[in-house]
Amino acid sequence: MGNLRDDGERPHMGKAGAPDMRRNWQADRTHGELARAHDGAAAGRKPDDEHTVSAHATFAMIIISHGDLAVELKKALEHLMGPQPLVVALSIPADEPLATTRARLRALIGDLRAMMPATDGLVFLSDLFGGTPANLALAEMKRHRPAWLLTGANLPMLVRLVELRGALAPEAAVEEAAAAGRRFIRSEHNPA
């Protein structure tokens, strides 16, 4: 099968033969890859101190997407990492007027800004570069500094960003998260 990691080992398999991402992240930790050091969150155990966000987070996160992807990414993130302060999701319905979406985004940003120091930044995560969510984020970045945008949002990117929030400068955390997002995109092949 084509289910080999870069080191030649097969990934841990979960239900129905699908790769178990939490265990794969743990296995990859020894290889310097994105890791989930604590997989007990899904079993209802409290995350260990390494993965809890301090009250001094260096940025808030806004996940913004077409359809319900943003909300579902946030749910999946919290399934793995536990509740996340200063992380919000904005899903954009196909039939919603742009002015309504912009107003909802600005209200979310206002709510976040009221809960954090003015010097802390915003990290926008959108599904598609050049799409409405990313374009709205870019427009808001001009109004709110410091701010960053990551496009092509995926779960490994979000997990890594949460892991590094408060531990690294925002610029470094964003770069690490982008690298994690790319690193966990894999192509599998099972020849006939």
Question: Per the structure, how many domains does the chain have?
Answer: 1
- Domain membership of residue 187 (yes or no) is no
Tens digit of each residue's pLDDT (9 = 90 or more) over 58-75:
899 999 999 999 999 999
Compute how many other C-beta atoms are within 10 angstroms of the C-beta atom of residue 67: 12
- Domain membership of residue 43 (yes or no) is no
CATH of the domain at 152: 3.40.50.510
Which range among 9-18, 57-66, 89-98, 130-139 shows the weakest confidence by mean pLDDT?
A: 9-18
- Domain membership of residue 5 (yes or no) is no
Residue 153: domain span: 53-182
Separate counts of helices (H) and strands (E) for the chain = 6, 4
Q: What is the average pLDDT across 23-47?
A: 34
Res 19: pLDDT: 43
Q: Between β-strands 59-66 and 121-126, what pairing exists: parallel, antiparallel or unpaired? A: parallel
Cα distance between residue 163 and residue 2, in whole Å: 30
